[in-house]
Structure 1
């Protein structure tokens, strides 16, 4: 089937950045798979939760009846039919500057291409398995004929969004012994250094690093009994009045592990002593 040159529903289609070749590095997004009837409600929920508007919405009825929207670090994937097992197993979606260049990079570090590149209305896509076994969908965005950057659909009702200081990230947990190797892997995959973030506290003592839109968690071995393994993390400002739940369920049934972010100099719960080497300079202890 040939790829359409324009969307079937251009009144609902908008992208603040239709051409991802302008990106400096891949943009990783956590994924939430939902029924198409929930999309409008879920977009509003995550805009209010994260205090920022959706920056893309793409109805793609010719590609499995899908409609996608991105809010912050989350990609909402809505469908009129059941999702396939591989769609459910895919942990991340990445918007990449160049699909060809990204695949060339990944080939050198042991990534397996599960679904080869194919053209789609937003640009082109492929599905891969990273060396750690994680599945990811890679998409390069290119404008369709006549498309211009715009922040929202024409006539869409806009309201002032609260400043929440909340971030939603993809989450990857590994045994603590594998933590540094995993940090280095994702620094390569996402082409950005890990951010030292020693002021995170969570439901159990763990090392943490943020690479792009991904929170990496080093679980002690053996892992705490009943330790949650959700695919997303909610980073919230620390509050002395309300201690966050360890895990929360968000709109669309998305499960997120909750981490508190303390201001610089603020006291934190004590953590077990950890040795630190020069190679750990980019990875904070949470």
Structure 2
């Protein structure tokens, strides 16, 4: 697992102010920012927050997804997750940043799994017992 992102859904007119606010309080510029034309969405990642902005109609297919798990080897996760009780809802499929899939965990949580084509070193979680606070 590389990183776990909290999702923040916003109307388009609040996107830039929200991203700037979080960049300021976290002290880190957005390391990912892109337009997703297929769904008319704007996305940005600041630290472990994924901002997703659009109209109520463009956000509707996504708002029930609770988190994004960034991974290496999405194909391996697609094979493994069903063996532990998870259900692959959609994917893996190509997206602007690489590949993703939507998964329902046994507890009902909907999670987007994504493997980025270009990984950012800051997205690697500390190894267990690695001294991360």
- Note the residue ranges of structure 2 that are not aligned, 5 or more in a row: none
Please tell me whether the aligned partners of residues 78 and 92 of structure 2 are also in contact (alpha carbons under 8 angstroms).
no
TM-score (normalizing by structure 2): 0.81
Aligned length: 127
Alignment partner for residue 117 of structure 1, among 92, 104, 108? 92
Give the structure-1-normalised TM-score.
0.40
- With over 3 angstroms needed to count, the CA separation of the structure-2 counterparts of 1:116 and 1:31, relative to structure 1, is same
Task: Give distance in 2, aligned partners of 1:191 and 1:49.
Answer: 23
Structure 1, unmatched stretches of 5+, are: 1-24, 144-148, 150-189, 198-209, 211-286
SS, match of residue 41 in structure 1: helix
Matched, 1:51 2:55: no
Q: Where does residue 39 of structure 1 map in the other structure?
A: 15
- Residue 89 (1) aligns with residue 67 (2): no
Larger Rg belongs to: 1
Q: Could you tell me which of 138, 160, 164 is aligned with 2:113? A: 138
Shift of 1:194: 8.0
Paired residue secondary structure (1:58): strand
Alpha-carbon distance between aligned partners in 2 of 1:89 and 1:195, rounded to the nearest angstrom? 33
For residue 41 of structure 1, report the CA deviation from its aligned partner: 0.8
What are the superposed Cα offsets for residues 26-49 of structure 1, whole Å, 9 maximum, x if unpaired? Answer: 311000011122221111110112
The root-mean-square deviation of aligned C-alpha atoms, in Å, is: 2.7
**RCO greater where, 1 or 2, for CA within 8 Å and sep 6 or more?**
2
Q: Which residue is equivalent to 1:207? A: none
Q: 4+ residue stretches of structure 1 with deviation over 3 A?
A: 190-197
